[in-house]
Structure 1
């Protein structure tokens, strides 16, 4: 999406021989600021005015380049969680914004796929965290856990993250999401079905024997791949998406020229739309709606994109 340059309205326009109205404008601006201060409002030109309307908004206004970048505006720290110290899942790594100056952040737990380990989805940790989220990439109890088990493990990891982890004070426990690859993607749907209070779900090339999800009310973006032979979109991602109720904010992104294992390596298209979805629904940040609606068109990396617009949550 092309970004149109904003007009700079702050520079006084003067004609030949005219005095600049800078002083008068300055006095007027000061008066507006004073009135706004009395009313407890920000001025219309204040960068924080929009943020004041949405206390969950984090980071500067997004651009296409900012959501496609390998790293966002936040420096990231990480901490390992031993499987010996937790129950209900297999431990993992927490990535989080280093600074606490912006307050709390929403959080996301990500599950790997069948026979896979945390390392297979670890690239998403710092990439998402640097945009303003606490991200927990986890190992599962065994590498062959099925989707229903992975769904329970995602929720157990969220509970650990918000209740017991060393970064729990950095998290707003009312703003949580889940993601997962393959079996973990199927588990993502299971978790969203079980816990409707989740704010966002992103199944990545998901696999599940259950093809219908009419109970899911969590805003859900399903990412499939046109070349997936493990969980073909025709028997997995597409029926999953089609079964989500029309009242649920939902999207279906099919990657072009990609396989089932696309989520296992750094992928700008997955990152770009995952960031936009998480920002839009975990942070309720409507500045990211522009990347989701109108629906993205097919491209070198997008085979197809479906969704309901405008989003309402």
Structure 2
């Protein structure tokens, strides 16, 4: 009997040890597997300050031209996308230029954002004089082209979409978010719009202004845009120091850093990028001011 009891006790101890080891193994397995289970939309390695400030990200990028003749509702453009398909589908972003400009003024966003794990469509508008409401419609038409008709539609998750734009394209970004609340992110860049109030927006919005903007001064455009957004909305206001209305037209590390973080956080729901948005970045250097709500929903 004593021998049977000892054997039973040994068995229980062995089973208990096995359970502990199994628990430890589950805890100590590479984080990427656990993260993938929690959020299947994470793309690329863990981000660092240097990785989101770098001119290029983790992915190699290819591009495809869309002619105006094949576009419906907008003026054509260029699609930039991660070359590899190993990681599955990606979120997508349409980017609109400003008044009198074409897609070349926004071309740098294509490879910069796509290399971080997005499909990016820099578009031409129907005419260079189109107003913000029209540019908003064209941004949505471009997203529809991406997800329904483009050669890379199979690489895109149609439920993970965002919009960006400069000047009147920035005003159009707000219009697009108003018209399609299901969008996951909006980033107006030194935006211009006669409508200053956007309480109806339901899309997480990063408003970018420039302290030296004399065409769309922040006190009559970007700041009212931001302040009118619902207080419950995930929103942020970045004012660039020593910048002008046209600063978003050339490669800019600060714009890229926070645009990437915003798109990753809300298009991909990738909380690894929350660290760059919350707590709110301090003013200094290229940042004149940063406002927002933290933590994000």
Confirm or deny a common fold (TM above 0.5).
yes
The Cα of 1:87 is off from its aligned counterpart by: 1.2
Gaps of 5+ in 1: 1-26, 37-41
Aligned 8 A contact 1:111 1:179 in 2: yes
Unmatched segments (≥5 aa) in structure 2:
1-16
Report what 1:90 is aligned to: 75
1:65-76 equivalent positions in 2, closer than 5 A = 65-76=50-61
Q: Residues 196 and 80 of structure 1: is their aligned pair in 2 closer, same or farther, counting only changes over 3 Å?
A: same
Is 1:305 aligned to residue 290 of structure 2?
yes
* Bigger Rg, structure 1 or 2: 2
Following TM superposition, where does structure 1 have runs of at least 4 consecutive aligned residues deviating by more than 4 angstroms? 27-31, 33-36
Out of 95, 98, 113, the position equivalent to 1:110 is 95
Q: TM-score, normalised by structure 2?
A: 0.92
Q: Distance in 2 between matches of 1:52 and 1:259?
A: 43
Q: Distance in 2 between matches of 1:206 and 1:112?
A: 10
Partner of 1:130: 115
Hey, what does 2:164 align to over in structure 1? 179
Measure how far apart 1:34 and its partner are: 9.9
Pairing partner for 2:261 from 253, 267, 276: 276
- Say yes or no: does 1:219 pair with 2:204: yes
- For the residues of structure 1 that align with 2:282 and 2:28, how far apart are their CA atoms? 37
Return the alpha-carbon distance in structure 1 between the equivalents of residues 203 and 32 of structure 2. 31
Q: Report how far residue 180 of structure 1 moved.
A: 0.2
Change (3 A) 1:229 1:33: same
* RMSD of Structure 2 on Structure 1 (CA): 1.7
1:160 aligns to what? 145
Q: Secondary structure at the match of 2:258?
A: helix
For 2:155 and 2:23, the matched residues in 1 are separated by: 32
Distance 1:227 1:163, change over 3 A: same
Structure-2 change in CA distance of 1:230 and 1:101 (3 Å): same
C-alpha contact (below 8 Å) 1:59/1:73 kept by paired residues: yes
Q: How far off its partner does 1:32 sit?
A: 2.4
Instruction: State the secondary structure of the residue aligned to 2:237.
Output: strand
Query: Which residue of the partner structure matches residue 246 of structure 1?
Result: 231
User: Does residue 48 of structure 2 align to residue 63 of structure 1?
Assistant: yes
User: Distance between the aligned counterparts of 1:28 and 1:299, measured in 2?
Assistant: 54
Output the TM-score relative to the length of structure 1. 0.87
Q: Structure 1, residues 15-34: CA drift from partner, whole Å, max 9, x if none? A: xxxxxxxxxxxx98994289
Contact map agreement 1:32 1:43 (CA 8 A) in 2: no
